[in-house]
Amino acid sequence: MVASVDIKTARQVAASVPDPELPFLTVADLGILREVVLEAGVVVAKLTPTYIGCPAVSVIEQDVLQALTLAGFNAKVQRVNSPAWSTAWITEQGIEKLRSNGISPPDGNNNGDALFATRTITCPRCESTLTEKLSEFGSTPCKAHYRCNSCLEPFDHFKCH
């Protein structure tokens, strides 16, 4: 157990936990780590899932709790569902990590990103907007599958919720 709780260090530990579905992103990159606070001597990491039905939410909570515990903190994780997560919470670093890993990031303004909406999606490889949706659901529920008609490469698009 850490003798005196350094909340800044606790936040850094929690923030460094990778997303299990997108391991190149951290919970901080995704903006789902809302805050880390000290309550009655316990470090509380507050997390908001990308959407309520996210299959990875329990894994993420356990991973954050484990990271904090292994770092010596008496900790717990609290799920915060309101306000609902928004892709606007993804950091600029997170947007760049999505793009550099071949995933088209959300455009940030949520226009046209409702389920089954028609969208203009930019290819993360060649930056063409000549793309077509192959499936509303990609490799995870938070992604849709597209193909670029310029470079002919398939790619995922991170959807807004």
Per-residue pLDDT tens for 30-51? 999 999 999 999 999 999 998 8
Domains in the chain, please, with CATH? 7-79 (3.30.300.130), 101-158 (no CATH)
> In angstroms, rounded to a whole number, what is the distance separating the alpha carbons of residues 23 and 75?
23
Question: Each residue of 135-156: pLDDT tens digit?
Answer: 988 777 788 899 999 999 999 9
Give pLDDT tens digits for 90-138. Answer: 999 999 999 999 999 987 544 444 555 567 899 999 999 999 999 988 7
Query: 157's torsion region: left (phi>0), alpha (psi -120 to 50) or beta?
Result: beta
Share of the chain above pLDDT 90, in %: 72
| pTM higher than 0.75 | yes
